[in-house]
Amino acid sequence: MPQNTATFASTSLDQPASTATSASSTSEPPPGTANASSTYLCIECTYPVTSLYTPYSNADDRALGRGVRLTQCPRCKGFADKYVEHDFVVLFIDLVLMKPQVYRHLLFNRLGREDDQFDPSILRLGILLLLFDVYLTWARIEKEAPLNAQMRSNYNLLTRQPIVLQYLFFLLLCTTESLLSHLLIRLLTRLFSFPRPNAVSTALLVSSCTKLFPILMVIWDYDVPAAAKSVGWAVVVNNVEALRILLGVGYFWAAGLALVGALVRGWVEWGGWCGLGWEEI
């Protein structure tokens, strides 16, 4: 097993450093370990398993990776979830590549909860994505407004306001379109009798990590409107994959749900709510 297996297994699963070496001393097993009330999924074949790895109390040499052993799937005979020993960089790359295995790891084995409560890390991710959305939307409008007569006068009126009010305007705009798209998709998932609406929002946020790519704007100068449009459609495609895996439906229904959310976002921007009249998603 790789050298960092035991180390990451404790940090990525939010357990103390001593958990892997003394699992029997806690009243509840850490996430990913055996628990009679929890069921995980094999990320390869979706077969239910009761644990993702097994900690050993007598293997305290964590530098040699002796703390845990990954669970083998009874059906496909592979590791039930290899991502428990991978760091965030690998997860992010596989998210961008839309690998089904990483979505199963995050949505079912890592972030999924039986009480359908948001994981704290998802709330932080949602705030981060919202701030990136505000920055990208503001930068795009600054580039487009002087070239569009329909939105030029309204945008000039906005630019005469204090900078704080301008920021609050874009913050309210992005918050409104995000909330409306999430609420509508959550409502539509009731058609599939899906009982966990917060899991739907989790899937949408996780699959929206592509929005973080505009951070490259601080390094390279490129066409902001074109980049924003490309990122918007990339997010929609990732939403399709996440909804398909979470709901267990085909691409047709998942694409329909994702497109409904995209249309709602476009309507908020284009349909007169803000008065600026831009049309990109």
- Confidence band (pLDDT; 50, 70, 90) for 18? very low
pLDDT digits (tens, 9 = 90+) for 238-276: 999 999 999 999 999 999 999 999 888 888 876 544 555
For residues 220 and 27, which has the higher predicted lDDT (pLDDT)?
220
- Confidence band (pLDDT; 50, 70, 90) for 29? very low
* Two structure tokens written together for 28: 């509840």
Cβ burial, residue 164 (10 Å; 0-12/13-18/19+): exposed
Distance of CA 127 to the CA centre of its chain: 12
Tell me, what's the pLDDT at 183? 94
Bridge pairing between strands 68-70 and 40-41:
unpaired
- In the predicted model, what is the mean pLDDT of residues 120-141? 87
- Confidence band (pLDDT; 50, 70, 90) for 147? low
3-state helix, strand, coil in the chain (%, to 5): 60, 5, 35
Give the integer Cα–Cα distance in Å for 55 and 76.
22
Tell me, what's the pLDDT at 212? 79
- Confidence band (pLDDT; 50, 70, 90) for 85? confident
- Confidence band (pLDDT; 50, 70, 90) for 10? very low
Residues 6+ apart with CB under 8 A from 149: none
The pTM of the full predicted model, rounded to 2 decimals, is 0.76
For residues 86 and 106, which has the higher predicted lDDT (pLDDT)?
106
Least confident of 69-78, 128-137, 145-154, 261-270: 145-154
Q: Are the CB atoms for 244 and 254 separated by under 8 Å?
A: yes
pLDDT digits (tens, 9 = 90+) for 170-229: 899 899 989 999 999 999 998 888 889 999 999 999 999 888 776 666 666 666 666 677
Give the integer Cα–Cα distance in Å for 72 and 66.
17
- Work out the mean pLDDT of the chain and round it to a whole number: 76
For residue 87, pLDDT beyond 70: yes
C-alpha R_g of the chain:
22
Tell me, what's the pLDDT at 27? 35
* Two structure tokens written together for 66: 């002796």
Bridge pairing between strands 68-70 and 53-55:
antiparallel
Amino acid letter, 65 = G
Q: Are the CB atoms for 144 and 225 separated by under 8 Å?
A: yes
Tell me, what's the pLDDT at 150? 57
Q: Where are the alpha helices (DSSP H) in the chain?
A: 5-11, 88-96, 100-104, 120-144, 149-159, 163-188, 197-206, 224-247, 251-270
